[in-house]
């Protein structure tokens, strides 16, 4: 495959994945190649390759003889994703606290500051698009674990995070005031390199987020 073709394929992949995560492509929707060709200005061969990649990454279902469908959602799936987040993110955080240097610490401070600022705007009732809100949430959680010294763990964590956030974007349920309080405590424990406190606070934060989402589903 040429470099140009790879770039086009990657761009289409990211666009479709983003539309799945944000709910622009609704859960269970059949992904017809002719319609997608027009919507994403891509060739059928590029789209087929993209959908197979999305199916491999778990964003698209490909039931036998039924083409491609946007992955369906369920409470059981949400619970499984949350449990995986707890396992992976807590393990990655522990490693990150052990390996993190001054650059990691500076990135974490910056990410938390931006999250806190956007949170204040949201709580004050200023119009902040949900996708932008959760972008800063991702930056904070990624900053916590980015020094874990395992690119495979980061890759799997990002995949699970994106699927989990998809539920929040579809359900349109957030609990910013409480979440920010919890993230402040996680941040302080992480800066203090208190691994036990930081991971327990993170686990509690994720569990409360799950309960809130389940109540809204």
In the numeric block, which tokens belong to residue 2? 């040429």
Does this model's pTM top 0.85? My answer is yes
Between residues 112 and 130, the one the model is more confident about: 112
Reply yes or no on whether the pLDDT at 126 is more than 90: no
Say what the pLDDT of residue 125 is. 83
Reply yes or no on whether the pLDDT at 75 is more than 60: yes
Stretch among 46-60, 74-88, 116-130, 133-147 having the lowest mean pLDDT: 116-130
Rounded Cα distance between 58 and 174, Å, is: 24
Dihedral sign for Cα 74, 75, 76, 82, please. Answer: positive
Backbone Cα Rg of the chain: 19
The stretch 173-185 carries a mean pLDDT of 87
Reply yes or no on whether the pLDDT at 10 is more than 90: no
Residues 6+ away with beta carbon under 8 Å from 153: 88, 91, 92, 95, 145
Rounded Cα distance between 85 and 90, Å, is: 8
Q: What are phi and psi of 61, to 5 degrees?
A: -95, 145
H or E segment and range at residue 69: strand 69-70
Find how far residue 107's CA is from the centre of its chain.
19
Mean pLDDT taken over the chain? 91
Hey, is 105 helix, strand or coil? helix
Reply yes or no on whether the pLDDT at 1 is more than 50: no
Say what the pLDDT of residue 170 is. 80
Find how far residue 121's CA is from the centre of its chain.
22
Residue pair 61/17 in contact (Cβ under 8 Å)? The answer is: no
In the numeric block, which tokens belong to residue 165? 């956030």
């Amino acid at each position: 495959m040429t470099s140009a073709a790879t770039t086009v394929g990657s761009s289409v992949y990211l666009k479709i994945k983003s539309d799945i995560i944000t709910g622009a492509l609704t859960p269970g929707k059949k992904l017809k190649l002719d319609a997608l060709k027009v919507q994403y200005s891509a060739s059928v061969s590029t789209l087929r390759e993209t959908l197979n990649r999305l199916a491999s990454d778990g964003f698209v279902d490909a039931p036998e003889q039924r083409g491609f469908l946007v992955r369906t959602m369920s409470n059981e799936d949400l619970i499984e994703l949350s449990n995986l987040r707890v396992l992976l993110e807590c393990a990655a955080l522990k490693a990150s606290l052990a390996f993190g240097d001054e650059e990691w610490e500076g990135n974490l401070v910056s990410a938390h500051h931006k999250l806190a600022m956007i949170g204040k705007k949201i709580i004050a009732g200023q119009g902040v698009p949900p996708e932008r809100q959760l972008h800063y949430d991702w930056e904070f959680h990624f900053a916590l674990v980015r020094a874990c010294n395992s690119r495979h763990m980061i890759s799997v964590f990002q995949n699970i995070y994106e699927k989990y956030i998809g539920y929040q974007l579809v359900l349109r349920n957030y609990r910013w005031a409480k979440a920010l309080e919890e993230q402040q405590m996680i941040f302080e424990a992480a800066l203090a390199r208190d691994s036990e406190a930081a991971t327990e606070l993170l686990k509690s934060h994720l569990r409360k987020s799950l309960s809130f989402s389940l109540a809204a589903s």
